[in-house]
Chain A
């Protein structure tokens, strides 16, 4: 089980969603994907996408200007 880190700090729509999807496609079932970003709308939309893709949301946290979301494939 691998942990894949996706850094989309400073990136804007639609890059955080797209990079999340790319990482999910490459991941094996059970892998953890950790996405760190700053784009405000993506903080809401990544969990939405995860739900649409039936991917488990492990955690969501806000650290100052950054957010970090962990998903499990």
Chain B
């Protein structure tokens, strides 16, 4: 009994020590994590979320995106680019204008951002309750992108050890 307790204490102490050593080296732990809830289906907001997700992965963090509500619709087959602009959409005219400006600035497309996110090991979670409410079946979604289906528990489990968490 006493031995076991001592062993547990030792394991905890070793973990703390490893953390301190890694910090002293100026390195960030590979386990550092960013989680983002994508509630909005707006094109510009999805773009920001994917850029942040890619940035986190590029800088050595784990990243997971939890798609819910209007955001979930962007995971539908062919839905990635279907979102309106969050402001100045003007029946699609504003979106067209912004899209041409984005192209001029050579900004990466949503497809490319999504492909890079997956290539760097990013995780995509789809909200099951939204699927139920909106009558979305798994076969309606881009299943090849989705790592997990879940509800609030899945998100909390992802986020409880995250260093950065955002709601977009």
Chain A residues within 8 Å of B, Cβ to Cβ: 10-15, 17-18, 20-22, 25, 48-49, 51-54
30 A-B contacts (beta carbon < 8 Å): A10-B106, A11-B108, A12-B106, A13-B51, A14-B55, A14-B113, A15-B116, A17-B55, A17-B58, A18-B54, A18-B58, A18-B116, A18-B120, A21-B58, A21-B59, A22-B116, A22-B120, A25-B120, A48-B59, A49-B58, A49-B59, A51-B26, A51-B27, A52-B27, A52-B28, A53-B28, A53-B59, A53-B60, A54-B25, A54-B26
Tell whether, in the assembled complex, residue B58 and residue A20 are in contact, meaning their CB atoms are under 8 Å apart.
yes
Q: Which of chain A's residues have a CB closer than 8 A to the CB of B119?
A: 22
- What is the interface of chain A mostly: helix, strand, loop, or mixed? helix
Q: Which of chain B's residues have a CB closer than 8 A to the CB of A52?
A: 27-28, 59-60
Nearest Cβ on chain B to A42's Cβ, whole angstroms: 10
Tell whether, in the assembled complex, residue B108 and residue A15 are in contact, meaning their CB atoms are under 8 Å apart.
yes
Residue of A nearest to B121 (CB): A25
- Measured in the bound complex, the distance between the Cα atoms of B51 and A42 in whole Å is 14
Residue of A nearest to B22 (CB): A54
Task: List 10 additional A-B contacts (Cβ < 8 Å) besides A14-B58, A15-B108, A18-B116.
Answer: A11-B106, A14-B54, A17-B54, A18-B57, A20-B58, A22-B119, A49-B60, A51-B26, A52-B27, A54-B26
Nearest Cβ on chain A to B146's Cβ, whole angstroms: 21
Q: Which of chain A's residues have a CB closer than 8 A to the CB of B55?
A: 13-14, 17
- Measured in the bound complex, the distance between the Cα atoms of B113 and A54 in whole Å is 25
Indicate if B166 sits at the interface (CB-CB under 8 A).
no
- Measured in the bound complex, the distance between the Cα atoms of B120 and A25 in whole Å is 9
